[in-house]
Amino acid sequence: MLLPDNIHPENTVYFNGAYVLQVLQQKPLQTYIELYQNVKLIKNMAYSMFILCLDWLFLISAAQINTQGEVELCS
């Protein structure tokens, strides 16, 4: 569930996905590890939450994987 009513908003995929999206907007093409390290600079996020956020961004077509295996921002 993206927006559950029984936990704090800062623990949701929706909220944390905004941080991943913010980092991708600053640099639209990054490797997984580079992206995670850049996200960790602004938000202390667990790797499992980071992967869930990436999954969500892929599902809504906000990010994609290119042929080199890098994460890129969709336009």
The pLDDT, as a whole number, for residue 2 is 58
Per-residue confidence (pLDDT) for residue 56, from 0 to 100: 95
* pLDDT per residue of the chain (75 residues) written in tens, 0 to 9: 555 667 787 888 989 999 999 999 999 999 999 999 999 999 999 999 999 999 999 999 999 999 999 999 997
Domains and CATH numbers, the chain: 10-73 (1.10.10)
Q: What is the pLDDT of residue 3?
A: 59
pTM for this model (two decimals) = 0.87
pLDDT at 45: 94
- Could you tell me if 27 and 38 are in contact, meaning their C-beta atoms sit under 8 angstroms apart? yes
Give the full edge-to-edge strand order of the sheet including 29-30. 29-30, 71-73, 63-65
